[in-house]
């Protein structure tokens, strides 16, 4: 019975000390479960009876959509985002809203006004961010699957740290209508799941064109493909910036592809040093623009007076470099760098079907550890190129270091999501 499964998850959530959820309405979801059991029209749908958690920057009617910020702590969603409508139409149930870095501006899961999320795989360490609660909820078995958003690694980073599966679709594959944007030219909604097969199913359920999101695209149903003849690219610079212990685990993962019959191709990407400055300069400007609606009139509190330190830092820098006298010096140059980075990245796929490597360059730090902003941003060096270039990327577990999970990142060219998801599934089967 679906109601029994919902009750079991609600009990687990109540007892959990992971702090994965911000808002759970047990009475509401149990009532929806009862109604779902009577709905014969949905019983053959791919997500029938699946219990799904949703990141707190995606609108779900009747739930607190706070973005984990005091700015919006009293805001309750008045509508369902397009992805939520799609989930419901496929027979899924929304169990609650997950914790996250405030306004998705973080890589650790520690900047939420509701307190940090813990890593179920290593309770003394960060779970990664910004989709920290969604990843932790899946890893702690508090739901069947979850939805997150990825602006520069916010799905893949916590998937790697928590030892689960995460997938960032190509830009435009999933509608962002109803998402509280961080940086609109980077943002993408995607799945966090317990296995790669579920990531494929969930991606198919939420993707598709949406007239309310002009960036959304129509794509055919993604199917599993044979990858045995694929060329798998390994980028030297991605490996070079990675901690040796993580690199060793990734190299074992690369051997799995070789054993499957794939050809390993050595590649070079000359713009790795541009990744963080290019990403963050554009991020700051777009985030500053996005936050102008939080002026205390229509939505919550005036953001500059209510937000935390990292969000305020991004707003102030974004405001500064948006000014006419600095725009050419910083923002416009970042846009030029983005073009160069994308051209170089897309060129790599002329030599390889997929690019495989580490997800994050270092192990997650301990909760509460004093980490500088630059040290925090360094977590993103291997994930932001995906968003800068608009390509797709997934993460699957690839070993561990003293119990701390390591994630293998698989990147594909724009709209080659099917290839990436297929490789993720085959890797899991053969690892």
Give the tens place of pLDDT for each residue, 316-340: 999 999 987 777 789 999 999 999 9
- What are 334-390's pLDDT values in tens digits? 999 999 999 999 999 999 999 999 999 999 999 999 999 999 999 999 999 999 999
Tell me the average pLDDT across 253-259.
98
Q: Quick check: is 364 in a domain? A: no
Q: Quick check: is 116 in a domain? A: yes
Point out the catalytic residue in the list 56, 112, 130, 131.
130
CB 51 within 8 A of CB 1: no
Tell me the average pLDDT across 92-118.
98
Q: Quick check: is 168 in a domain? A: yes
What pLDDT, on a 0 to 100 scale, did the predictor assign at position 329?
Answer: 83
- Alpha carbon 180 to its chain centroid, in Å, reads 14
Q: Quick check: is 38 in a domain? A: yes
- pTM of the model as a whole: 0.97
- What are 269-322's pLDDT values in tens digits? 999 999 999 999 999 999 999 999 999 998 899 999 999 999 999 999 999 999
Among 211, 218, 259, 253, which residue's Cα sits nearest to residue 234?
A: 253
What pLDDT, on a 0 to 100 scale, did the predictor assign at position 299?
Answer: 84
For residues 186 and 154, give the distance between their C-alpha atoms in angstroms, rounded to a whole number. 11
Q: Sheet harboring 51-55: ordered strands across?
A: 21-23, 93-98, 51-55, 145-150, 188-193, 165-168, 392-401, 404-412, 354-358, 231-235, 263-267
For residues 372 and 190, give the distance between their C-alpha atoms in angstroms, rounded to a whole number. 29
Q: Is 132 a catalytic residue?
A: no
For residues 95 and 338, give the distance between their C-alpha atoms in angstroms, rounded to a whole number. 38
- Whether residue 145 has pLDDT greater than 90: yes
What pLDDT, on a 0 to 100 scale, did the predictor assign at position 123?
Answer: 97
Q: Quick check: is 286 in a domain? A: no
Angle, vertex CA 349, rays to CA 343 and CA 355, nearest 5: 110
Q: Which two tokens stand for residue 252?
A: 């074992």
Q: Using 50, 70 and 90 to split pLDDT, how confident is the model at 229?
A: very high
What pLDDT, on a 0 to 100 scale, did the predictor assign at position 325?
Answer: 77
Q: Quick check: is 41 in a domain? A: yes
Burial 272-285 (b: 16+ CB within 10 A, else e): bebbbebbbbbbbb
Using a 10 angstrom Cβ sphere, with 0-12 exposed, 13-18 middle and 19 or more buried, the burial of residue 389 is buried
Q: Quick check: is 79 in a domain? A: yes
Residue 52 belongs to a domain with what CATH number? 3.90.1300.10
Point out the catalytic residue in the list 107, 134, 154, 175.
154
HSE (side-chain half, CA atoms, 13 Å) at 31: 4
Q: Is 245 a catalytic residue?
A: no
Tell me the average pLDDT across 166-192.
97
Question: Alpha carbon of 344 to those of 95, 160, 272, 306: distances in Å?
Answer: 42, 26, 11, 41
Q: Quick check: is 44 in a domain? A: yes
Torsion angles phi and psi, residue 220, rounded to 5: -70, 165
Residue 32 contacts by C-beta under 8 Å, 6 or more apart in sequence? Answer: 93, 94
- Whole-angstrom distance between the N-terminal and C-terminal Cα of the chain? 34
DSSP string, 223-290: -----TT-EEEEEHHHHHTS-HHHHHHHHHHHHHHHHTTPEEEEE--TTGGGHHHHHHHHHHHHHHHH
What pLDDT, on a 0 to 100 scale, did the predictor assign at position 327?
Answer: 72
For residues 169 and 149, give the distance between their C-alpha atoms in angstroms, rounded to a whole number. 10
* Domain that includes residue 74, residue range: 2-206
What pLDDT, on a 0 to 100 scale, did the predictor assign at position 209?
Answer: 97
Q: Is 351 a catalytic residue?
A: no
β-pairing, 51-55 vs 145-150, is: parallel
Specify the number of domains making up the chain. Answer: 1
β-pairing, 404-412 vs 392-401, is: antiparallel
Point out the catalytic residue in the list 55, 64, 118, 168.
55
Residue 103 contacts by C-beta under 8 Å, 6 or more apart in sequence? Answer: 57, 67, 68, 69, 71, 180, 182, 287, 291, 307, 311
- What are 44-79's pLDDT values in tens digits? 999 999 999 999 999 999 999 999 999 999 999 999
SS3 112: coil
Question: Alpha carbon of 337 to those of 170, 209, 278, 382: distances in Å?
Answer: 20, 29, 7, 16
What pLDDT, on a 0 to 100 scale, did the predictor assign at position 42?
Answer: 97
CB 391 within 8 A of CB 348: no
- Across the chain, mean pLDDT equals 97
What pLDDT, on a 0 to 100 scale, did the predictor assign at position 323?
Answer: 87
β-pairing, 51-55 vs 93-98, is: parallel
Cis peptide bond prior to 59, omega within 30° of 0: no
Question: Alpha carbon of 134 to those of 19, 147, 271, 338: distances in Å?
Answer: 11, 7, 31, 29
φ/ψ region of 200 (left if φ > 0, alpha if ψ in -120 to 50, else beta) reads alpha
What pLDDT, on a 0 to 100 scale, did the predictor assign at position 148?
Answer: 98
CB 100 within 8 A of CB 68: yes
């Amino acid at each position: 019975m679906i109601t029994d499964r919902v009750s079991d998850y609600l009990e687990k959530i109540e007892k959990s000390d992971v702090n994965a959820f911000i808002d759970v309405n047990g009475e509401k979801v149990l009532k929806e479960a009862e109604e779902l059991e009577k709905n014969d029209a949905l019983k053959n749908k791919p997500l029938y009876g699946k219990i799904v958690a949703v990141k707190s920057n995606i609108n779900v009617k009747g739930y607190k959509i706070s973005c984990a910020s005091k700015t919006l702590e009293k805001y309750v969603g008045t509508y369902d985002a397009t992805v939520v409508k799609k989930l419901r139409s496929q027979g899924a149930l929304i169990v609650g809203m997950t914790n996250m870095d405030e306004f998705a501006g973080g890589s650790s899961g520690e900047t939420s006004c509701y307190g940090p999320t813990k890593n179920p795989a290593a309770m003394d360490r960060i779970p990664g961010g910004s989709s920290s609660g969604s990843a932790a909820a899946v890893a702690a078995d508090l739901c069947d699957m979850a939805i997150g958003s990825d602006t520069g690694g916010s799905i893949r980073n916590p998937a790697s740290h928590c030892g689960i599966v995460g997938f960032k679709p190509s830009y435009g594959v999933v509608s962002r209508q109803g998402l509280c944007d961080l940086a609109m030219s980077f943002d993408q909604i995607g799945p966090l799941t317990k296995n790669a097969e579920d990531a494929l199913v969930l991606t198919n359920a939420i993707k598709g064109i949406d007239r309310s999101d002009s960036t959304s695209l129509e794509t055919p149903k993604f199917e599993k493909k044979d990858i045995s003849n694929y060329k798998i690219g390994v980028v030297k610079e991605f490996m070079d910036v990675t901690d040796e212990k993580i690199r060793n685990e990734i190299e074992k993962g690369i051997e799995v592809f070789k054993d499957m019959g794939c050809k390993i191709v050595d590649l070079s990407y000359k713009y790795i040093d541009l990744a963080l400055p290019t990403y963050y300069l554009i991020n700051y400007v777009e985030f500053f623009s996005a936050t102008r609606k939080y002026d205390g009139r229509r939505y919550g509190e005036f953001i500059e007076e209510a937000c935390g330190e990292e969000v305020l830092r991004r707003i102030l820098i974004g405001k500064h470099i948006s000014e006419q006298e600095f725009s050419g010096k910083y923002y416009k140059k970042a846009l030029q760098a983005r073009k160069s980075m994308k051209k170089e990245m897309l060129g790599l796929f002329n030599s390889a079907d997929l690019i495989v490597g580490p997800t994050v360059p270092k192990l997650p730090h301990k909760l509460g550890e004093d980490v500088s902003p630059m040290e925090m941003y360094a977590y993103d060096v291997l994930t932001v190129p995906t968003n800068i270039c608009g390509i797709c990327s997934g993460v699957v577990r690839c070993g561990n270091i003293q119990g701390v999970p390591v994630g293998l990142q698989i990147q594909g060219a724009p709209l080659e999501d099917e290839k990436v998801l297929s490789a993720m599934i085959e890797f899991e089967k053969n690892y």
